[in-house]
Amino acid sequence: MTILRLIFQTAVLALGQLWANKVRAVLTMLGIMIGVGAVIATVGATEGLKSYILKEFDSFGPRKVWMDGTVPRSQRGRVSSTQYDLRISELLYIKDNAQTIDAITPMQFLSGTVRAGDEVRTGVSVTGMWPDWHEIEKRQAVQGRPLIWTDVNEVRNVCLVNDKAIAELRLDSDPSGDFILLNDRRFLIVGVIETKAVAQGFPGGGEARTELYIPYTTAIAMQPRDTANFALAQLKEAGGADEAKAELSSILRRLRRLGGEDENNFQVETVQSVIDQVSRVATGITVAAGGLVAISLLVGGIGIMNIMLVSVSERTREIGLRKAVGARPSVILLQFLVEAVVLCLVGGMIGLLAGAGLLLAVAAIPSSPLADAGVPLWAVGVSLGFSAMTGIVFGMFPAIKAARLDPIVALRHE
Amino acid sequence: MAPVIDIKGITKVYRVGVEEVRALRGIDLTIARNEFVAIMGASGSGKSTLMNILGCLDQPTDGSYVLNGSRADRLSAGALAEVRNKEIGFVFQTFELLARSTAIENVALPLVYSRLAWWGSRKRAREVLTMVGLGDRMKHRPNQLSGGQRQRVAIARALVNRPSLLLADEPTGNLDSTTSEEIIALFKRLHEQGQTIVIVTHEEDIAGHAQRIVRLRDGKIISDNPTLADPIHRDYLDRVARASVAAAGTAIAAREGGGAREGEGVSTGGVSDGVGGGGVRA
């Protein structure tokens, strides 16, 4: 109780002291202010950017895996870019054998000319796929029915349209059962799927387009080949990205008879691994910012120590008096430590406000990717904690000096 | 009742480089409750060292010190601080008030280091300030107070913890003669109320207000007498009396006018000799 009261009284006194020497206090706290301000701005911006990126990935589906045939670096330019495209037999094998995924579909893109009544649209995006696509993309039929395996197995001329297509082609609001012409073939519309907003820069992202979805087998019947542009799959468990990558890679390596030394001629990527990568980069930036702040706190701390030493020698008589009227050395130590900590905390708080202000200013820029940048609570805690610690560490020497003063000598000090 | 101060065989040796300075060479001193004692001595006599030891600011090299019934020698720095807080009130020549604090805050300072609650300490500080006649100056800062008022604040601060010993070091050294008398009157009033007071001074007229004068020279007590039995003090009083008689004579002569020119010159010399007190200190 007594000690709390002492700390409180000392803190009030210290604040008064700061107010009385404003310029000196600001100059002293500059290092800590800049350090904390910089780290708050950096961490806030990094976290904001990270959450922006992760949100984008989230719209793409966190359990999503994509697979693609690639030309290894050593063979680049010597083989056709489609040489190693995923074969449908490979995907079928994976579908039946892979344990870490619960859905898979090839993605085969065509560009089509669509005619519905008098309306004609060219360059329409047409995708051939398996029914698992609904599960992976989380796009169910909102009207009619989804594609089913029978459509694939029987190579039916059926299609799904999105609502953009309904508008563009002036179809009925429920066009299920209507026919359209795709590259002069008659297709039955069996269902409607939602247009899903996917962030720009991702497959299927950007502005909503007129989309048609048809069975994969139908797509390759129109454009004969036995490969897919790429394949999508879905992790059985959200956390199983690494296992899935390992399993799918080993299956593909085996199917493609790659030896121990051979490079992969395919790639398996998971959204999760990209998320992990982004998180790692963000953590790296945060750690680097932490290093920077450590340096500025060191510099700031030396400033604090300097000013506290000045304060101790300026107030030698006061210390002598306080001791004469009964202040124990430990109480004097506490008084000067509290002063140093208050100094550092005030500096830290000013830095915090400055950093947060900077961040808000950046976030306020129109269409800024940092729109939802904020200062995470832990960063506030950590920077204030470190400020206080700086006060304790660098205030300790002056405080010990004050505590050890001989009251007689101190009272005689000029 | 146990004496407030009971000192036996106290010595204090300082080490200055390789040289040893023996500031006190065996002091025995007993001061009873409600005594008013003046400690006198030239500079270098050891009176400051003795005062520091009495005030528990310093520890004797040897000997024993019992303060208000409990031992006050060979204590740790923390224990000494506690003794100072509870048992001793200091009054300094230069007041030693905290410049940024108000009178009441200055007075309450010792209570910060005792276990009294905040409101209790405010109440007590107000009480003591009123007692020394500064009830209307509580919120004033030292620079808004006169020298005499500052010393009153310092005295109130010394009394706030109800110490068993009030220890004053040249309390009037920085004050003019009128204010000095006011402060001395305050000490006398406190003494009448039962306070034990020790004043360290080199001024005979200040010491004259005490009941007892202890004189030091070369780290030893050379005399310890009731004030009126102290030969040096009596000598001083005689000279003051003679000087004032002479001064009175001069005044009368001046009023009567003429014929006394020669006598006036002689009288003036007598006055300056007495007040200067050079002979007393020698």
In B, which residues are within 8 Å of A323 by CB distance? 57, 81, 84
pLDDT band at A309 (very low <50, low <70, confident <90, very high): very high
- Strand pairing class (B70-71; B62-67): antiparallel
Nearest CA in chain A to B94: A411
* CA distance to A304, A347, A400, per residue, from A309 (Å): 9, 18, 10
Using DSSP, state whether B232 is helix, strand or coil: helix
What value does the mean pLDDT take over residues A386-406?
Answer: 94
- Judging by beta carbons within 10 Å of its beta carbon (0-12, 13-18, 19+), is residue B138 exposed, middle or buried? middle
Residue A250 belongs to some domain of the structure: no
Beta strands in A70-207 (DSSP E): 86-87, 101-116, 119-129, 141-144, 158-162, 179-182, 185-193
Report the half-sphere exposure of B86 (CA within 13 A, side-chain side): 14
pLDDT at A196 > cutoff 90: no
A73 and A186 assigned to the same domain: yes
Measured CB to CB, residues of chain A less than 8 Å from chain B are: 2, 5-6, 9, 16-17, 20, 317-318, 320-331, 407-408, 411
CB contacts, 8 Å: B159 with chain A: none
Burial A220-254, CB ≥16 within 10 A → b, else e: bebeeeebbbbbbbbbbeeebbeebbebbbebbbe
Q: Residue B244 corresponds to which tokens in the numbers above?
A: 């004032």
Confidence at residue B274, expressed as pLDDT on a 0 to 100 scale: 40
Please tell me the distance from the alpha carbon of residue A136 to that of residue A8, in angstroms, as a whole number.
60
One domain, residues A26 and A74? no
* pLDDT on residue B250: 87
CA–CA min distance A329, chain B (Å): 6
Q: Which residues pair with B206 in a beta bridge?
A: none
B169 to each of A376, A381, B27, B275, how far by Cα in Å?
59, 51, 19, 22
Say yes or no for a CB contact (<8 Å) between B161 and A326.
yes
| Per-residue confidence (pLDDT) for residue B263, from 0 to 100 | 46
Has residue A57 got a pLDDT over 80? no
* pLDDT per position as a tens digit, B145-198: 999 999 999 999 999 999 999 999 999 988 999 999 999 999 999 999 999 999
A225 shares a domain with A112: yes
Q: Which of A318, A327, A411 sits opposite B98 (nearest CB)?
A: A318
Closest residue by Cα to residue A411 from A339, A340, A327, A333 = A327
Q: For chain B, what is the radius of gyration of the CA atoms? A: 21
What integer pLDDT is reported at residue A1 of this predicted model?
A: 58
Q: What are phi and psi of A186, to 5 degrees?
A: -85, 125
Mean pLDDT of A348-370: 85
Confidence of residue B271 (pLDDT cuts 50, 70, 90): very low
d(CA B57, CA A280) in angstroms, rounded, equals 61
Residue owning tokens 């109800």: B162
- The burial of B26, by beta-carbon neighbours within 10 Å (0-12 exposed, 13-18 middle, 19 or more buried), is given as middle
Handedness of CA A323, A327, A332, A333 (dihedral sign): positive
Instruction: Report the residue from A5, A20, A327 with minimal CB separation from B100.
Output: A20
Confidence grade of residue A205 (pLDDT, cut at 50, 70, 90): low
Q: Which residues of A touch B52 (CB under 8 A)?
A: 408
Q: Do B98 and A327 touch (CB under 8 A)?
A: no
Residue A323 has pLDDT above 70, yes or no: yes
Instruction: Indicate whether A41 pLDDT > 90.
Output: no
CA A93 to chain centre: 34
Q: CA-CA distances (angstroms) from residue A92 to A95, A105, A184, A250?
A: 5, 9, 30, 15
Partner residue opposite A324 with nearest CB, options B57, B77, B112? B57
What distance in Å separates the CA atoms of residue B82 and residue B96, rounded to the nearest whole number?
20
A317 lies in some domain:
yes
Say if residue A173 is in the same domain as residue A283: no
Range of the domain at A89: 64-236
The region of weakest confidence among A37-51, A326-340, A363-377, B195-209 is A363-377
**8 Å CB contact of B112 and A408:** no
Task: For residue A12, give how far its alpha carbon lies from the nearest alpha carbon of chain B (Å).
Answer: 12
For residue B119, pLDDT beyond 70: yes
Task: Say if residue A180 is in the same domain as residue A35.
Answer: no
A282 and A400 belong to one structural domain: yes
In eight-state DSSP terms, residue A350 is H
To the nearest whole Å, the CA of B232 is away from the closest chain A CA by 30
Q: Identify the pLDDT of residue A197.
A: 60
Beta strands in B149-204 (DSSP E): 165-169, 197-200
The conformation of residue B202, written as its DSSP 8-state character, comes to: S
pLDDT band at B258 (very low <50, low <70, confident <90, very high): low
Which among A6, A321, A327 is the nearest to B81, CB-wise? A327
Where does a domain end: A214, A236, A258? A236
Q: What is the pLDDT of residue A199?
A: 55
Q: Which residue of B has its CA nearest to A321?
A: B96
pLDDT tens for A178-190 read: 999 998 899 999 9
Per residue in B176-186, pLDDT tens?
999 999 999 99
SS3 (DSSP) at A86: strand
CATH homologous superfamily for the domain B33-55+76-227? P-loop containing nucleotide triphosphate hydrolases (3.40.50.300)
Q: How far is CA A384 from CA A35, A82, A184, A397, in A?
A: 11, 56, 70, 21
pLDDT band at residue B28 under the 50/70/90 scheme: very high
pLDDT at res. A223 = 81
Q: Where are the domains of chain B?
A: 33-55+76-227, 235-281
Does residue A211 have a pLDDT over 70?
yes
Cβ atoms < 10 Å from Cβ of B142 = 19
Any domain includes A306: yes
Q: For residue A200, what pLDDT is reported?
A: 54
Q: What is the pTM of this model?
A: 0.72
Q: Cβ of A325 and B52 within 8 Å?
A: no
pLDDT score recorded for residue A25: 85
Q: DSSP class of residue A263?
A: P
Which of A322, A303, A300, A296 has its CA nearest to residue A411? A322
A411 min Cα distance to partner chain B (Å):
8
In chain A, what residues touch B157 (CB-CB under 8 Å)?
A: 325
Helix, strand, coil share of chain A (percent; to 5): 55, 20, 25
Of the candidates A184, A219, A236, which is a domain's last residue?
A236
The answer, yes or no, to whether residue B279 has pLDDT greater than 50, is no
User: Mutating which of A2, A315, A325 best tests the B interface, going by the most B Cβ atoms within 10 A?
Assistant: A325
Is A142 within a domain?
Answer: yes
Q: Do A45 and A152 share a structural domain? A: no
A80: in domain: yes
Mean pLDDT, all residues of chain A: 86
Q: In this complex, which of B58, B86, B96 lies closest to A408 when CB atoms are compared? A: B58
CB neighbour list of residue A71: distance below 8 Å, 6 or more residues apart: A79, A81, A83, A84, A265
Do A411 and B92 count as a contact with CB atoms less than 8 A apart? yes
Residue in B57, B82, B112 nearest the CB of A407:
B57
The interface predicted TM-score of the complex, written ipTM, equals 0.86
User: Using an 8 Å Cβ cutoff, are A60 and A273 in contact?
Assistant: no
pLDDT in tens, A103-154: 999 998 888 889 988 889 888 889 999 999 998 888 888 889 999 999 999 9
Asked if residue A107 and residue A36 are part of one domain, the reply reads no
**Does residue A354 share a domain with residue A282?**
yes
Closest in A325, A327, A328 to B90, CB measured: A325
pLDDT at residue B149, as a whole number? 95
On whether both A327 and A208 belong to a single domain, the answer is: no
Model confidence at A158, pLDDT cuts 50, 70, 90, reads very high
Contact B110 A328 (CB under 8 A): no
- Reported as a pLDDT band with limits 50, 70 and 90, residue B264 is very low
| A329/B77 Cβ within 8 A | yes
- The answer to whether the Cβ–Cβ distance between A9 and B157 falls below 8 Å is no
Predicted confidence band at A204 (pLDDT cuts at 50, 70, 90)?
low
What are B's interface residues with A at a Cβ cutoff of 8 A?
A: 52, 55, 57-58, 77-78, 81-82, 84-86, 90, 92, 96, 98, 100, 109-110, 112-115, 118, 157, 161
Alpha helix segments (H runs only) across A147-215: 149-153, 163-168
Structural domains in chain A (count): 2
Q: Which residue on chain A is closest to B166 by alpha carbon?
A: A325
